[in-house]
């Protein structure tokens, strides 16, 4: 079965063709990062307009020269930016209707939790999913294609957002994650002891805005005192603090809930320090770590197609009244417009 997956929840327009939920035929991603760079973050109005321009060329390229039309259309219906979601969902409805094939609405966060299936790397259920991106920091127990539960989440800033805000404050540019990671590679993670917020809290939630504030307070203090710290040491110390909280709480959640595997996803899961540290800690705790390659960690249509196929097999269908939901929660039924 050939599935077209469409993703427009934030600042990437993406379309992919996936055969039988596993075999990647194409995965086209058009990133808007250059459009948002000047603003230091995603501007919803600009994002929606850019999707309008790119969605058709992206879908055309994904379909390419495949002779037969897809048998199913899967599309992200939330969570995300409403204006951006509407563009993808409208395109998906048009194609579903004109081709006479079913439409399946997909929760973007759930798609991240299943992306590893595209590389034959999905563990047995149940497993723990960690989604770390610019908009989300979420731990979920995945017991099946339509059975999952939020275990912990950020109470304020997402992990990627913290990287972006610290980068902006330090004048390092956008998106902050890759810049900070590269700079941190040459720095000393022990140079400055930033706080590890909520690392010992009894739950599995996160709070990262205080860490960002601690970096700002530290910089103000040293500047008042007339000293200039090495940016690479600040980057490495911030990264170490942020990642330590996420790694420790993820491993603790998996262990305490009796889950044998951790699946990572989201843009921050591209961070090599996070991958390495998580690999070490999971190994020490006897957990297996499953992390898709970078192109399947960041937002993409392939993960939407993969989960669309699995949900279709379970009997899920969204009619042409399918609706978008900006604040859709993981595990919540997708809106079908009724």
| Interacting residues with ligand KG4 between 284 and 323 (CB under 6 A) | 298-299
Applying CB under 5 A, among 299, 309, 316, 324 the residue interacting with Zn ion is: 299
Are residues 14 and 27 in contact, defined by beta-carbon separation less than 8 angstroms? yes
Residue 123: contacted member of ligand KG4, Zn ion, none (CB under 5 to 8 Å, by partner type): none
221-248 in b/e form (b: 16+ CB < 10 A) is eeeeeeeeeebbbbbbbbbbbbbbbbbe
Reported as half-sphere exposure (CB side, CA atoms, 13 A), residue 102 has a value of: 15
Nearer to ligand KG4, 78 or 134 (CB): 134
SS3 content of the chain, % helix, strand, coil (to 5): 45, 20, 35
Residue 281: contacted member of Zn ion, ligand KG4, none (CB under 5 to 8 Å, by partner type): none
| 14, two tokens | 């993406």
Residue 181: contacted member of ligand KG4, Zn ion, none (CB under 5 to 8 Å, by partner type): ligand KG4
Applying CB under 5 A, among 84, 133, 137, 250 the residue interacting with Zn ion is: 133
Nearer to ligand KG4, 200 or 294 (CB): 294
Q: Indicate left, alpha or beta for 336 from its phi (over 0: left) and psi (-120 to 50: alpha).
A: alpha
Nearer to Zn ion, 281 or 299 (CB): 299
Please report whether residue 79 would count as binding ligand KG4 according to CB under 6 A. Answer: no
Measured CA to CA in angstroms, residue 82 lies from 59, 123, 283 at distances of 20, 33, 40
Are residues 165 and 212 in contact, defined by beta-carbon separation less than 8 angstroms? yes
Question: What mask of x and - would describe binding to ligand KG4 in positions 3 to 22, judged by CB under 6 A?
Answer: -------x------------
Residue 298: contacted member of Zn ion, ligand KG4, none (CB under 5 to 8 Å, by partner type): ligand KG4
Please report whether residue 154 would count as binding ligand KG4 according to CB under 6 A. Answer: no
Residue 5: contacted member of Zn ion, ligand KG4, none (CB under 5 to 8 Å, by partner type): none
Please report whether residue 134 would count as binding ligand KG4 according to CB under 6 A. Answer: yes
Which residue bears the tokens 């209707």? 97
Nearer to Zn ion, 30 or 133 (CB): 133
Helix (H, G, I), strand (E, B) or coil at 135: coil
Residue 83: contacted member of Zn ion, ligand KG4, none (CB under 5 to 8 Å, by partner type): none
Applying CB under 6 A, among 107, 154, 271, 325 the residue interacting with ligand KG4 is: 271
Helix (H, G, I), strand (E, B) or coil at 283: helix
| Interacting residues with ligand KG4 between 159 and 178 (CB under 6 A) | 160-161, 163-164, 175-178
User: Would you give the DSSP letter of residue 119?
Assistant: G
* Cβ-proximal residues to 229 (8 Å cutoff; 6+ apart), any chain: 191, 192, 219, 222
Residue 163: contacted member of Zn ion, ligand KG4, none (CB under 5 to 8 Å, by partner type): ligand KG4
Applying CB under 6 A, among 105, 126, 187, 266 the residue interacting with ligand KG4 is: 266
DSSP H stretches of helix in the chain: 33-36, 44-63, 82-99, 108-114, 159-169, 176-184, 209-224, 231-256, 272-285, 294-297, 301-313
Interface ranges with ligand KG4 (CB under 6 A): 10, 133-135, 160-161, 163-164, 175-178, 181, 266-268, 270-271, 298-299
């Amino acid at each position: 079965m050939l599935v077209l997956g469409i993703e427009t929840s934030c600042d990437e327009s993406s379309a992919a063709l996936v055969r039988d939920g596993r075999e990647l035929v194409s995965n086209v991603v058009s990133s808007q990062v250059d459009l948002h760079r000047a603003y230091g973050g995603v501007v919803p109005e600009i994002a929606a307009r850019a999707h309008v321009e790119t969605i058709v060329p992206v879908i055309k390229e994904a379909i390419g020269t495949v002779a037969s039309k897809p048998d199913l259309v899967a599309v992200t219906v939330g969570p995300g930016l409403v204006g951006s979601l509407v563009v993808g969902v409208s395109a998906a409805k048009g194609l579903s209707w004109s081709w006479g094939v079913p439409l399946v609405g997909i929760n973007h966060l759930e798609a991240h939790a299943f992306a590893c299936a595209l590389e034959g790397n999905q563990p047995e259920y149940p497993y723990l999913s960690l989604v770390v991106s610019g908009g989300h920091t979420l731990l979920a127990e995945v017991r099946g294609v339509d059975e999952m539960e939020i275990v912990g989440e950020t109470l304020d800033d997402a992990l990627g957002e913290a990287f972006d805000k610290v980068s902006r404050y330090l004048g390092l540019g956008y998106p902050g994650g890759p810049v900070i990671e590269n700079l941190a590679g040459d720095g000393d993670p022990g140079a400055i002891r930033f706080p590890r917020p909520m690392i010992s809290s009894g739950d599995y939630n996160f709070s990262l805005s205080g860490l960002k504030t601690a970096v700002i307070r530290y910089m103000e203090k040293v500047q008042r005192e007339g000293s200039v710290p090495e940016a690479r040491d600040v980057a490495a110390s911030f990264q170490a603090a942020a990642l330590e909280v996420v790694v420790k709480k993820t491993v603790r959640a998996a262990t305490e809930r009796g889950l044998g595997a951790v699946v990572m996803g989201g843009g921050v899961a591209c961070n090599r320090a996070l991958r390495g540290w998580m690999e070490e800690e999971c190994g020490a705790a006897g957990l297996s770590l499953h992390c898709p390659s970078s192109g399947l960690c960041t937002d993409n249509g392939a993960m939407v197609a993969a989960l669309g196929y699995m949900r279709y097999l379970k009997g899920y269908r969204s009619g042409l009244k399918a609706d978008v939901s900006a604040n859709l929660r993981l595990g919540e039924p997708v809106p079908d417009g009724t």
